[in-house]
Structures are given as C-alpha cells and as structure tokens.
Amino acid sequence: MKTIRIGTRGSKLALAQAEIVISLMKNIKADLDIEIQEIHTTGDRLVDVSLDEIGGKGLFVKDIEMHLLKGDIDVAVHSLKDMPTEIPEGLDLAAFVKRDDPRDMLFTGGNYTLYSLPKDARIGTSSLRRKYQLKSERPDIDIVNVRGNVTTRLDKVDKELDGVILAAAGIKRLGLKPGVPLEIDTVIPAPGQGVIAIETRNNDEYMQALVKGIDHGATRLCSETERTFPRALGADCNFPVAAHAFIVGGDIILHGMIGDIDRPYLMVKKTIRGRDTSLGRVLAEKLLVELEKS
C-alpha cells in the first residue's frame, strides 16, 4: 500500500493538528500507512519581522502548497485562519474538520479579564483584527507586536508583557491550561478560526474520496460563509477583518467587523442572518457603507 504523505509546518501545534487528521483518516480506513513531512515555511523562518511587512499569514501556507502541487506530499494540513481566501489553481480544500472553540483567549499572570487588566497594560498580539477590537474595548492598553510559537508567546507574560492573546483551539490541541476567553460579541474571531483544513490536488480522486469522510458539513458551510466576507472586501489575512458564522434553525448567523487601516482603531461591526454563503458578500457591502459614513 502506498504511503500517504501529509505535509505540515514543524511547530508543535501544526504537528498536533496533523496527528488529529491522521487519527480521523484511520477511523475511516484503519490500515492506512501515513507519514508526516515537516515543511519549514517562509513565515516560520522570518520570526523577527512583522507579518505586515513580509506578506501576511499566507507565508505559512504557500511553501506547503508548492510541495503539494509538485507531488512531494499527498495532503496538506493547515489552520484555516492562516489561509488566503483564494487557493492556487490545481488545489482544493477537500475537507474541513469539525470546528473547535473559535474564540480568542487572554493569558495573564493574574487571571485578569480584559476589563480588569491594569491601566496601560502591555498586551501582545500581531493581529490587526485583535488590535482594533481590543482597543475598542480598552483604549488605554498598549498593544505590542509579538510573534513566535505558542510557548514562546506565553513565556513573555510577566517578563516583557502583562498578557498575550492566543486562539483557544490551539491551546486545547496542545493540551495547555486555558486562559480567559474573549466572547465572540467582544472580539470576533478570524475567518476560519478553530478549523483544520485539509488540502489536496483537485485531480487526486483517491485522496479526495478518502478525506471526504472527515468533512464536517456545518463547519464547511460556516467557514465558506466567513471566507466570502474578506474575499468580497479584497482583504488578505493581515487586514483588520473578522468574521464568524454559526447555524441556528437552518439559518446562518454571521458576525463581521472591518477596520479602517488609514484611521487606526476605527472599526464597524454588524450581525446579519441568511441562508447561504453569499451572506459574506452582503455583510461586506453593508459594513463598507457604514465605515464610509463613520
């Protein structure tokens, strides 16, 4: 039997996510022979530079996609929130793993909430999405750019920073102690946050059929709705944009936020309800009008 080669980043979180996918694949076909191939991406190598300056989170994805297109690997495993809204020709997002907790979490030395943090607290994040929303709730706090893996960022708490913001899903997958969750109506997550995406070549019928059994329909529908929002705005992963969708009674509820890059920390939020993924485009149009009026 052919060995299935799964490509992923080499971080502990990326490897944990790859192991989740392997477990799910073996639930479908127990005798699969699967190996992980670690790919060190441009984003991983340039750790001392802001993502704003080097092209955004897509740098964590492009190198892996290149190996997939070349046939060096058979499957790519990504954090969906790191993926650009347009994927290369010849590739397909073949499966979306059931979503974990989509929220962000605040980690401090004193178990503070966002509202009980000391005045002028220094909080680490490199995400413009988080910066705009945090500043809306706490204009006094000092937002500090911080990059690196989860452990590196946590280690900065109480040394260089009063706190850091991290995605809840990654903390859970690493088996770490959770922080204080930031509710979705306070800090809307990134499109696709909490979702592991499985990418294949679109002409690889065997792999597409295999991972189809992993695909979670509600997660796919919500994720595609969320990704339609920044796509309609022409925004990349490193723009102040947030979107989160969930399903209630057959309807999709979509929360969205956009920030004005030329007027720091000015942003608008809105929630709308609909039936299909075009909801993301509708919300984008509404929020652009509101932002222009602000």
Q: Which two tokens stand for residue 179?
A: 């922080």
- Total residue count of the chain as it appears in this document: 294
Catalytic-residue membership of 215: no
What's the rounded Cα separation, in Å, for the pair 124 and 148? Answer: 11
**Which residue in the list 82, 104, 162, 204 is annotated as catalytic?**
82
**Cα–Cα distances in Å, from 5 out to 2, 8, 76, 88, 91?**
9, 10, 9, 20, 16
SS3 (DSSP) at 248 = strand
Which amino acid would we find at residue 291? L
Q: Which residues pair with 251 in a beta bridge?
A: 248
Could you give the strand order of the β-sheet that contains 91-96, starting from the edge strand earlier in sequence?
Answer: 34-38, 4-8, 75-79, 196-201, 91-96
| Euclidean distance between CA atoms 246 and 218, whole angstroms | 8
- Strands 104-108 vs 180-182: parallel, antiparallel or unpaired: antiparallel
Strands 122-124 and 4-8: unpaired
Question: Could you give the 3-state DSSP secondary structure of residue 160?
Answer: coil
Tell me the C-alpha to C-alpha distance, in Å, between residue 241 and each of 79, 191, 194, 228, 267: 17, 8, 16, 12, 9
The CA-based angle 136-139-145, given to 5 degrees, is: 90
Residues serving a catalytic function are: 82
